[in-house]
Amino acid sequence: MKKYTLWIIIAVLVVSAAVTAYAMRDEPASEHDNENVPRTVEVKDKQGEETTNRLLSDIGTWSVKSCLVLDGEEYDLYATFDDPEKAIENVKGKCPDALAQLRRGSLTLGELCDGNWQRYRDALAATSDGDNEQGDTLAAFFDIYENVDKNAQIIKLADELSGSAADKAGEQYDRLMMALPYTSIEK
């Protein structure tokens, strides 16, 4: 009798494991909600309010210059410097010690410019101790400066959504909404 009970318990465990595995399997990519995909997608220029803060007051101002319009509803893109070239020159003047320290740590950096700011940002992230005003200023600068690339990625996703096949539209829409600034979705 004990032998049969043991076999029944083992069979129940195997069946319950199989049922659990079946229930937990990955669903295909078609689970995206295609009903919410907008019919019209466009990028529109916008005159945003200029902003600055304590760390960047000597560097420059920034504002939202574009928005994404999905079925008539506007979603702001990321704020960018109003004069990016001047902002780079100003940050070089305000943070010479931090920039020199980063250059000492990497022989390939050269002078900060539009072509190498990502390497500076990465070097700062790898070495920042968080107790340095120039380092904090550089981090804040890079946080705004990188938004040009983020906006370009959003515009690329919007273009892909406009031209995507119906079976991929839900996935493209989800990717686009995840790339937008959270502040534009909270409106």
- Report whether pLDDT(29) > 50: no
Percentages of the chain per state (helix, strand, coil), in multiples of 5: 60, 10, 30
Q: Can you give the pLDDT at residue 84?
A: 96
138-174: pLDDT as tens digits: 999 999 999 999 999 999 999 888 876 666 788 888 8
Residues near 71 by beta carbon (within 8 Å), at least 6 away in sequence:
38, 39, 40
**Side-chain-facing half-sphere of 9: CA atoms under 13 Å:** 6
Distances (CA, A) of 62 to 99, 147, 159, 170: 22, 10, 25, 33
**Joined tokens for residue 98:** 């931090």
Highest mean pLDDT among 12-26, 41-55, 90-104, 124-138: 90-104
* 116 compared with 23, residue with greater pLDDT: 116
Enter the pTM of the model.
0.74
- Report whether pLDDT(34) > 80: no
Q: Can you give the pLDDT at residue 145?
A: 97
78-135: pLDDT as tens digits: 999 999 999 999 999 999 999 999 999 887 899 999 999 999 999 999 986 666 899 9
Phi and psi for 37 in degrees, rounded to 5?
A: -65, 125
- Report whether pLDDT(48) > 60: yes
Alpha helices in 95-165 (DSSP H): 96-105, 117-127, 133-145, 147-163
Q: Give the residues across from 63 on adjacent strands.
A: 80
